[in-house]
Structure 1
Amino acid sequence: MVETETRRLLLVHAHPDDESIGTGATMARYVADGAHVTLVTCTQGEQGEILVPELAHLAPDQEDRLGEHRVKELAAAMAELGVQDYRFLGGPGRYRDSGMVWGEDGRRAQAPGDVRPDSFWAADLRAAADHLVEVIREVRPQVMVTYDENGGYGHPDHIQAHRVAMYALILAGVESYRRDLGPAWRVAKVYWSAMPRSAVQRGIDLMKDAAEGPFGNVESADELGFVVDDADITAIIDGSSWVERKIAAMRSYPTQIDVEGPFFALSDNIGQAIWGSEHYRLVHGMAGPVDPETGCESDLFAGLGI
């Protein structure tokens, strides 16, 4: 059981590498600040595309061992960020990566037509939520972070992680629900990670001017399906002092991420700038004091008095 006076942050992500890309600097910052950081990863990422030719034999249509390899990548990334408490939802291998296909616009993901019955997308929502309820009641986080209702860019596992997290949030706080999973706990604040339009556009502009050239041909943030209006951002975490740890954590995923200078590319070949600042939307709980310059919280625990 975690000490009650400790700041406790719980993050719910879909696959190994998602946490480092979207929230790595935040995680490293709070670990350095003495907070207890818990990561719950919902799948082992078995269906991911493989960027390392020598490891192509791990692919689902060959040896189908990519998941066990990505578990090792996750452990290496957590060592870089300093996170000691990381788990898989329901235990390793309980839910399989559902895979994805790109929609007609090529910018938004969707579930493939042949989702396996053991995939996360096909999971019973309450059963999956119960696994997270148990973690919430054990760790007793004051703050939880997950994706928005669209899973950022539409990946079915990101959407399912959102659904599981938000349902577990409610169930964990009900005194009479599943007492066998531990004493009820109410999470004070919940944030959805977000990519503000202005920050994404700055990244695109930087890539256009980079000597080595961009990884993709995106000209405007409006071409991407995962950006949100700047006005929707309620918290900005300055992780600039920990951005090198974030980059190191991302380098721990060579099968999934190609890190090059200040940029990285995923399998869709869209280059993205690596930001030291990470952005969030408060969706549950009361906002705390804000930074007068940004009008946003600079601490996810703001207003909680801890």
Structure 2
Amino acid sequence: MSVLVCFHAHPDDEVFTTGGVMRMAADAGHRVVVVTATDGALGEFPDGLLDEYETLAQRRSRELEASTDALGANRVVSLHYPDSGMVGTPENENPEAFCNVDVEKAAERLAEVLREENADVLTIYDPNGGYGHPDHIQVHHVGVRAAELAGTPFVYEASTNRDHMKMLMQANPEWTEEAQPPDIESFGLPADQLTTAVDVSSVISSKRAAMYAHATQVGDFGPFLEMPTEQLAAAFGTEWFRRRNAPEGLSETALPL
């Protein structure tokens, strides 16, 4: 049995880029651990969704539990840093927000989990955090350092294949502006920088179930929830990674689990 640890910024981030590899790893008998940096308390959500006296952080924690159950996680850890908010918002200036925390101290907290689990593989984000969110960028920095501290042998930067995304957008002009990244040229990584493409179409139903679990995040998942399975698999049936310190020319179809 190997151990896969997926480090994410907010509850719901686990679905898009690692939901499939999590489910496939769990189905193969491996241990799957999800670590979230923040509580997601600054996310947008539909009016009237929360119960009386319920906070968004409380609801998103329960959603994360349901999502990770669908994806086969054995353990979920939250580091409980304050959400930094979207880039350019006043919350970015909060000294306690995750984007501003000391990388060494945060990395040691993640490294403690990696050591406890004797992790074989850690997933983080690419240096731009996929799309420039301050918390996602910090996940990259903290994750890289934590793997160094813990001696985790394989580190994979979860990303999006920018060229694949462009192709999908051209083929699906009916997709709304809300469903498209704001600046495609800064979104994810180009195909020639990715080392690993994992076909997760066989577990696309689990990814859809995880999307449904995050009811507060309908703004993120809404355009995709009712897609026919074939379309959903085209959009999310491959998960893309760049393996750090990979041999030149590496082209993988699975994580080393």
**How high is the TM-score relative to the length of structure 2?**
0.87
Contact in 2 for aligned 1:77/1:249 (Cα 8 Å): yes
Matched, 1:76 2:66: yes
Query: Which of 8, 11, 15 is the aligned partner of 1:16?
Result: 11
Question: Which structure has more helix as a fraction of its residues?
Answer: 2
Tell me the equivalent position of 1:176. Answer: none
Asked if 1 retains the 8 angstrom alpha-carbon contact of 2:85 and 2:92, the reply is no
* Alpha-carbon contact 1:201-1:220 (below 8 Å) kept: no
Match of 1:275 among 236, 241, 245: 236
Give ranges in structure 2 of 5+ residues lacking alignment: none
Aligned to 1:29, the other structure's residue is in SS state helix
Pair 237,273 (structure 1): closer, same or farther in 2 beyond 3 Å? closer
CA contact (8 A) 1:196 1:233 kept: yes
Correspondence for 2:38: 43
> What aligned pairs does 1:1-306 form with structure 2 within 5 A after superposition?
6-50=1-45, 52-55=46-49, 65-89=55-79, 94-101=80-87, 110=88, 112=90, 115-172=93-150, 186-208=151-173, 213-216=174-177, 223-256=184-217, 257-258=221-222, 259-262=224-227, 274-284=235-245, 286=247, 296-301=251-256
CA-CA distance at 1:220 after TM superposition: 9.7
**How far 1:86 moved relative to its partner?**
1.2
Distance 2:157 2:66 in 1: 25
2:81 maps to a residue whose letter is Y
How many residues are treated as equivalent by the alignment? 250
State the alpha-carbon separation in 2 of the partners of residues 285 and 8 from structure 1.
20
1-structure distance, mates of 2:159, 2:29: 24
Counterpart of 1:262, as a letter, is: M
Q: Deviations over 1:65-121 (max 9, x none)?
A: 1111100000010111111211112xxxx31111114xxxxxxxx464653233112
Sort the Cα spacing of 1:25 and 1:114 in 2 relative to 1 into closer, same or farther, 3 A.
closer
Whether the aligned pair in 1 keeps the contact of 2:181 and 2:187 (CA below 8 Å) is no
Determine the C-alpha separation between the residues in 2 that align with 1:112 and 1:30.
39
Gaps of 5+ in 1: 1-5, 102-109, 173-185, 264-271
Q: Offset at 1:262?
A: 2.7
Q: Which amino acid aligns with 2:48?
A: E
Higher relative contact order (CA 8 A, sep 6+): 2
In the TM superposition, what whole-angstrom CA distance separates every residue of 1:168-222 from its partner, at most 9, and x where no partner exists? Answer: 11222xxxxxxxxxxxxx21111111211232023213431xxxx3221789997
Call closer, same or farther: CA 1:200–1:117 in 2, change over 3 Å.
Answer: same
Query: Shift of the alpha carbon at 1:57?
Result: 8.0
CA positional deviation for 1:122: 2.2
Aligned residue identity for 2:64: L
Q: Evaluate the alpha carbon distance shift between residue 226 and residue 54 of structure 1 in structure 2; reply closer, same or farther with a 3 A threshold.
A: same
Counterparts of 1:139 and 1:114 in 2: how far apart (Å)?
32
Q: What's the offset of the Cα at 1:299? A: 1.4
CA apart distance, 1:39: 0.8
- Give the residue type in structure 2 aligned to 1:24: G
How many Å separate the matches in 2 of 1:251 and 1:188? 34
For residues 194 and 151 of structure 1, what CA distance do their matches in structure 2 show? Answer: 8
Q: Percent identity?
A: 34
Conserved? CA contact 1:99–1:115, under 8 Å: no
Letter in 1 for 2:175: P
**RMSD across aligned positions (CA):** 2.8
Deviation digits for residues 129-173 of structure 1 (CA, Å, limit 9, x no counterpart): 11111111111111111001111111111011111111111222x
Taking the aligned partners of 2:37 and 2:6, their CA distance within structure 1 comes to 11
Query: Deviations for 1:206-261, whole angstroms, at most 9, x for unmatched residues?
Result: 431xxxx3221789997342132211111111111101100110111121131433
